[in-house]
Structure 1
Amino acid sequence: MYDPTRLAALVAVAEAGSITRAAERLGYTPPALSQQLAKLEREAGTALLVRHHRGARLTGAGELLVARARRVLDELERARHELAGLAGLSGGTLRLGTFQTAGVHLLPSALSAFRRAYPDVGLTIADLEPAAGVAAVAAGEIDLAMTHTYEPGGPVPLPASVSAEPILVEELVLVSAPGHALTSGGSRLPLAELAGQPLISMAVDHPGRREVEAVLTEAGATPSVLVTTPGYILVCALASAGLGVGVVPEMVARTSATPVGVRALEGGRLRRTISVAHRTDEAAPAADAFRALLRGTFSRAQHS
């Protein structure tokens, strides 16, 4: 039996005309989407796509499977809608809080999938840093909040009525101006190589970054510019301009609006876990459905 996720990937490539554009639409990286398509081709026992310099086109077998896949996916969509009504998801509003990185890079594809599955549920989204988001969940002002923790670092205490479910773990990486010597190598960079380097440092009073900054200080990085708010977009822009090097989540580095050199750090010690905070003392069908969607989406992305 074919995996519906892989069928949807094939349909997306057929509509977008390239794996890269389809990956952007679905919220995958192109290599991850290519892996899903390769698995589908193995299941089908034949080539479904022909790659070329301008994108990808369907083979005859691919065209046949896409036609059938659309019917299957339409039926699954109808089933989701009918089940939503049974589960109390035929109306109401999902209230969501998110910090900037998750709001820009993670949530759009997940919210698009949620809207397709539950078109009658309204959406409200608030721009909230993690601490404020968790407080708003505890107060009943929103249903879910995207939050994060850093390693190294201690656990962030949560109100008794709130739990946080991890959905994505990413490493912190070095960013610099394009062509910088430190980001030109292919292997992981030892932290000792940061000794004497001008560092674009994050706010020292930002709870999630204190231990990360301490590790960089121990490695000998020299604070050059202090960004006093947790704004990774600004860190990347300053690094791109040659004002120093920065250490930011990989997701931010790979999607930076300004050109930066990127390099993984040795040991993988510096990481960020993105979680979704929710109340544990009341029923919330829309929030539960969205958490399940996040869980499925990002567990597939990390293990594909």
Structure 2
Amino acid sequence: MLDPSRLLVLLALREHGSVTRAADQLGRTPPAVSQQLIRLEDEVGAQLVERLPHGVRLTPLGVQLAERADRIAAALRDATDDAQRFRDEHRNRLRLGAFPTAGLALLPEALTAMRHRHPDAELSVLDLGPAEGIERVAAHRLDLALVGEYHEPLEAPPGVRLVHLLDDPVHAVLPTGHPLAEATAPRLADFRDDTWAGAPLHLPNRRQLEAAAHAEGFTPRVAFEFESYAVAEAVVSAGVAVSFIPRLAITGAPGTTHQPLASGLHRRIHAAVPTDTRHAPLTDVFLQLLHDLSRDTGLG
């Protein structure tokens, strides 16, 4: 197969009729252009350029190959335009995803800071499940996603890296009249006789609690199942259940109090980002803002 770069040398010689002027166009020295031409003629096994007293002229085969080189040059120009359009499209755009409680805790301040630093940035946010963002980053549909890790470790697919932001401790959320409302660092087993409000069993945060309860020797009685921490907290405020909620998700509903657990149970919050962020430079800017905010929470 012929070397395309040498065919482009032939095209430049056709356009300028001079080795010196072709070299200027290509950004090379005249000897380098001459050497490339010699190698191309060796590859072809035929003369492609005739040397004239003042310049050069293509042979019939040279003309034919230069026409082919025209199409190569056009394809390269199209490829360059495609790459430039892609860079222009992504340079000022940042597509974010977050699961609700992490988004509520971290995104508002980060978005405000981002708007201050890059007022022309095109920002968007998608509401997702705790681990859903990883797949969307892998599919190049998001530039950064906040994801939650509970009992089961998250795995990053090829092209994605997980950047740890903070560990969010799980608190016991209790009615203010509960006997353990003033307890310091209670254990899950202290609530073995209580009715619980928690997530459905198919969700990782519920499976985390079930595993922790089993490790302390009991199976919890979960009579109220909600995907929303806010609804679970509202049930606690009614005085009919206790719940176990990460600190950043606690709203402080009237009639409730909360205490960290002795076990140190927590969820980990990560940012899922592409392993290569050159196409979306605002990703690294936003990631640093998230690191700063995570430190401000005292959990990062």
Fold shared, TM-score > 0.5 on shorter chain = yes
8 Å Cα contact 1:172/1:250 also seen in 2: yes
Aligned mate of 1:285, from 281, 285, 294? 281
Aligned to 1:156: 154
Letter in 1 for 2:298: Q
Identity of aligned residues (%): 32
Distance 1:106 1:259 in 2: 26
- Structure 1 residues 166 and 99: alpha-carbon distance in aligned structure 2, compared to 1, 3 A threshold: same
8 Å Cα contact 2:168/2:299 also seen in 1: no
Aligned to 2:48: none
Distance 1:298 1:140 in 2: 25
Segments of 5+ residues of structure 2 without an aligned counterpart are: 1-87
Give a deviation string over 1:233-268, Cα, whole Å, max 9, x none: 111111111221111101222x23454121121131
Secondary structure at the counterpart of residue 169 of structure 1: strand
Shift of 1:282: 4.2
Work out which of the two has the higher radius of gyration on C-alpha atoms and give 1 or 2: 2
Aligned to 2:192: 195
Distance 2:260 2:194 in 1: 16
Aligned residues: 211
Distance 1:191 1:237 in 2: 20
Aligned to 1:276: 271
Secondary structure at the counterpart of residue 180 of structure 2: helix
8 Å Cα contact 2:166/2:269 also seen in 1: yes
User: Residues 79-90 of structure 1: matches in 2 within 5 Å?
Assistant: none
Secondary structure at the counterpart of residue 214 of structure 1: helix
Give a deviation string over 1:149-188, Cα, whole Å, max 9, x none: 12xx231122111111111112101012222112222x21
Secondary structure at the counterpart of residue 275 of structure 1: strand
Shift of 1:296: 2.2
Q: Which moved more, 1:90-99 or 1:283-292?
A: 90-99
Letter in 1 for 2:259: R
Give a deviation string over 1:11-60, Cα, whole Å, max 9, x none: xxxxxxxxxxxxxxxxxxxxxxxxxxxxxxxxxxxxxxxxxxxxxxxxxx
Shift of 1:208: 4.0
Aligned to 1:262: 258
Distance 1:171 1:111 in 2: 24
**Structure 1 segments of 4 or more deviating over 6 A?**
88-91
Aligned mate of 1:227, from 213, 225, 228? 225
Shift of 1:214: 2.1
Secondary structure at the counterpart of residue 103 of structure 1: helix
Q: State the TM-score, normalized to the length of structure 2.
A: 0.64
